[in-house]
Amino acid sequence: MPLQLWDIDDAERFVAAIVSRSGFSLSFHDREDLEQHLLVEAWRLSLVYTAGGISFSTFAGNTLRHRVVDWERARHGRTVWKFRDRVHIRPRPELVPLDSERDRVEQALAERAGDREADRDADYRRLLAERDRTRTRDLDTLGLEAPRRVAG
């Protein structure tokens, strides 16, 4: 039995149509996840909707189209900000597996028996001891660029 919400006869079909018109190329599982997210949102909207003015289907359709973008940003982050006079595009963060870097450093140090200079490198000893590879100075030490933060 289809879920009816105000003037929407089948809420699942309604949200499936919104997902289809979104233009996102989604995997089967992502599509199902988004449809379920929108169905829950449609239910919540039905609880706060008051009759009069626009129909519930118009109210829900407009709101759920915005929720599609919110869902996409929550999963993949925001990369484009549009202002009146400019557009700011931030590339997605690049994840660097520093644990594998540490393993290579430890292996290289172990293979060089008697190489005291490598054993005394204070920066790498600090990196290995603190186990915190998200700090700017640690990234500088490794020769990587620190992720930029957008002022909120």
Beta pairing partners, 89:
80
Q: What is the total count of domains within the chain?
A: 2
pLDDT of residue 115: 52
Answer whether 72's CB lies under 8 Å from 30's CB: no
pLDDT per residue, tens digit, the chain (152 aa), is 899 999 999 999 999 999 999 998 899 999 999 999 999 999 999 999 998 889 999 999 999 999 999 999 888 888 888 999 999 998 877 776 666 666 666 666 666 555 555 556 677 776 666 665 556 666 777 777 766 666 65
> Could you tell me the residue range of the domain that residue 117 belongs to?
98-142
pLDDT of residue 37: 96
pLDDT of residue 143: 77
pLDDT of residue 144: 76
Token readout for 23 is: 């233009």
pLDDT of residue 80: 86
Q: Is residue 148 part of a domain?
A: no
Total-model pTM:
0.55
Sign of CA dihedral 103, 104, 109, 113: positive
List C-alpha distances in Å: 60 to 32, 68, 136: 19, 12, 44
Same domain, 69 and 104: no
Q: Is residue 3 part of a domain?
A: no
The angle at the Cα of 140, spanning 137 to 142, to the nearest 5 degrees, equals 115
Give the C-alpha separation, 113 to 123, whole Å. Answer: 20
Same domain, 24 and 84: yes
Same domain, 54 and 71: yes
What is the pairing mode between strands 87-89 and 80-82?
antiparallel
Same domain, 22 and 57: yes
- Look at residues 52, 51, 39, 50 and name the one whose alpha carbon lies nearest to residue 4: 39
Give the C-alpha separation, 135 to 71, whole Å. Answer: 29
pLDDT of residue 101: 60
